[in-house]
Chains A and B, each alone.
Chain A
Amino acid sequence: MHNLKPLTALGGAVADVQTVGTLTICEVPDLALASVAARLGREKQTLKTLKTLVGATLPGPGKASLKGDIPAMWIGPDQWMLSADYADHETLFETVAGATGADASVTEQSDGWVCFDISGSQMPAMCELLCPVDIHGMAVGDATRSTIHQMGCFICRTGDTELRVIGPRSSAGSLHHALIAAAHSVA
Chain B
Amino acid sequence: MIINHPLLGPRDSAEFTYLGDARLIDRPDWQSDTATAEFHDYGYLRDNPAGNHRELWFHEGGDRSWLVVTRNTVTHEIKSVELARDVARAQGRSK
Contact = CB atoms under 8 A, between A and B. Distances in A.
Interface in B54-71: 60-65
Interface in A134-163: 144-147, 152
Given A77-B63, A132-B14, A144 B83 contact: no
B9 A62 contact: yes
Interface residues of B, number: 15
Interface residues of A, number: 13
Contacts of B41: none
A79 B64 CA distance: 11
Given A132-B14, A144-B8, A76 B65 contact: yes
Contact of A147 (B61, B64, B83): B61
Contacts, number: 34
Contacts of B64: 76
A46 B85 CA distance: 20
Contacts of B8: 61-62, 144
B15 interface: yes
A146 B65 contact: no
A36 interface: no
A144 to B, nearest CB: 7
B29 interface: no
Nearest to B5: A61
A77 B15 contact: no
Nearest to A148: B61
Interface in A33-75: 61-62, 74-75
Interface of B: 7-9, 11-12, 14-15, 60-65, 83, 85
Given A61-B7, A62-B9, A77-B85, 6 more contacts: A61-B63, A76-B63, A77-B7, A144-B8, A147-B15, A152-B60
21 contacts: A61-B8, A61-B63, A62-B7, A74-B63, A76-B63, A76-B64, A76-B65, A77-B7, A77-B63, A77-B85, A79-B63, A132-B11, A132-B12, A132-B15, A144-B8, A144-B62, A145-B62, A145-B63, A147-B14, A147-B61, A152-B60
